[in-house]
Structure 1
Amino acid sequence: MNSHFVGIAELVETPPVAVVVDVMRAFTVAAWAFAQGAEKIVLAESLDEALALKAAHPAWVALKDGPPAPGFDVVNSPGLLRSVDLGGRTVVQKTTAGTVGALAVKEASLVLCASFVVAEATARLLRTRECDDVTFVVTGEGGRADEDLACAQYIARRATEAGTDAAEFLRRAAGSTAAAELTQGVRQGVHPDDVALCLELDRFPFAVVATLEGSLMVLRPCVAPSPNDETSI
């Protein structure tokens, strides 16, 4: 598998397969939303679009980065989201980096939204689909966020070498600027457990697949077949 690692601004054309990585915290939060029962996640281009979608669908749950704000139900924090019942709900998500990265590759034939909590499931799906050429979009810090790059590199390695040890990749993520800012309270809308939750390797058994449904980019969980089971769920 040929792997390419780029920032959002470096995307000059739509890749055939894209893995969009946001560890702290968009796609850790997305995975938690599905674990809390969400049916799907709709990615919004802007805060205004998120609010417009919420207004058009009052039962939907609007989620954003930073502190709570009028019109939004929850914030982009796994520690805060894990106590929210999202059974059967649709979540509208708008974040600073992760959702922007996913929308930038919305025309790709396969788009996966990844973090450490779904790393193995993501790698397994890449193997199952026999993806030969994969572009990893490193969303944080203009493509330089070490937590995102470390996760991307781990998934790329794991997709071809099942015995890859995650320890060094997790260590890099734990020492990243984003981890420090979350721990020190530089960012708002944070729970004290957020960093630890973002570093829980393979917490969930599903990958997160993004597809265009009409004009909307929609995330849904997807369980790739295990090595002994070729039946997709």
Structure 2
Amino acid sequence: MKIQIIQGNDHQLEDADVNVVIDVIRAFTVAHYAFINGANEIILVGTVDEAFRLKETYVDYLLAGEVDGLPIKGFDLDNSPVHIQQADLQGKSLIQKTTNGVKAALHSLNAKHILVTGFSNAKTTAEYIKNRIMKENSDPSIHIIASHPTDDDDLACAEYIAGLLNNTCGSAGDVVKRIEASRAAQKFYDPNNPEFLREDIDWCIQELPSDFVMKVRVHERIPVIERVSV
């Protein structure tokens, strides 16, 4: 199998069999908890204006996300794992806009299989690729995209997934340490930034047992994350 790790959210990728897009802090950790809490699907959008336009069509969908990490005026939900796991999402669907993860996913749609994950679902995602996708294609081309363009949190998770796929995996504990030490995490520990919850990082570094992965499909030119059983 051919694995390439790419860092950033504004890339141009060659076609691949599998694209895995990572956002640990916090977009795809939020998406993971949204599905755990009963969400049906998550539409991905690149701008706030696009989110509001889609809301006019999908009136029952909840707007979720952030700009520069902060809540968006007029959105129903922010980008906090703490808040999302407290929300009643049973049977509901979301429209998600974020700075890094969603943007990276929208630049990664040219693959047969498109998966998104944070650290919380990284191991399950790697196992899905090995146990399901590689049964169809024993030598797939795989891009693993660490969506934060400069920081170590997503890169640590990308290298962890690559190691799981190559059977050369380091410890999950080392990944957790890198996430906690990343620049992206520091504002969550700063009491002068109360809008960023320290507890969010606690949720981002939990590796959860899971029976599903998050796959993106494009329906009528709209990218949608769906829950797919493993």
Shift of residue 15, structure 1, vs aligned partner: 2.9
One-letter identity of the residue aligned with 2:91: G
Distance 1:80 1:191, change over 3 A: farther
Alignment of 1:45-124 (within 5 A): 45-65=46-66, 66-124=69-127
User: Which of residues 136, 139, 144 is equivalent to 2:147?
Assistant: 139
Distance 1:189 1:27, change over 3 A: farther
Q: Secondary structure at the match of 1:75?
A: coil
| Structure-1 residue corresponding to 2:12 | 11
Shift of residue 6, structure 1, vs aligned partner: 1.0
199-208 or 210-219, which deviates more: 199-208
The answer on 1:194 being equivalent to 2:197 is: no
| Structure-2 residue corresponding to 1:2 | 2
In the comparison of the two structures, how many residue pairs are matched? 222
Partner deviation per Cα, 1:130-182 (whole Å, 9 max, x = no partner): 15321111111x2x321101101111111232875212122111110111122
Shift of residue 13, structure 1, vs aligned partner: 2.7
Contact 2:13/2:108, CA 8 A, preserved across alignment = no
Contact 2:108/2:114, CA 8 A, preserved across alignment = yes
Mind listing any 5+ residue stretches in structure 2 that lack a counterpart? none
| Structure-1 residue corresponding to 2:227 | 221
Contact 1:139/1:145, CA 8 A, preserved across alignment = no
Structure 1 stretches of 4+ moved >6 Å: none
Alignment of 1:34-49 (within 5 A): 34-49=35-50
User: Which of residues 205, 210, 220 is equivalent to 2:211?
Assistant: 205
Shift of residue 223, structure 1, vs aligned partner: 2.5
Q: Secondary structure at the match of 1:182?
A: helix
How does the TM-score come out when normalised to structure 1?
0.88
Contact 1:80/1:191, CA 8 A, preserved across alignment = no
What is the RMSD computed on CA atoms of the aligned residues?
1.9
How does the TM-score come out when normalised to structure 2?
0.89
Q: Secondary structure at the match of 1:45?
A: coil
- Distance in 2 between residues matched to 1:85 and 1:10, nearest whole Å: 35
Contact 1:61/1:91, CA 8 A, preserved across alignment = yes
Q: Secondary structure at the match of 2:16?
A: coil
Mind listing any 5+ residue stretches in structure 1 that lack a counterpart? 225-233
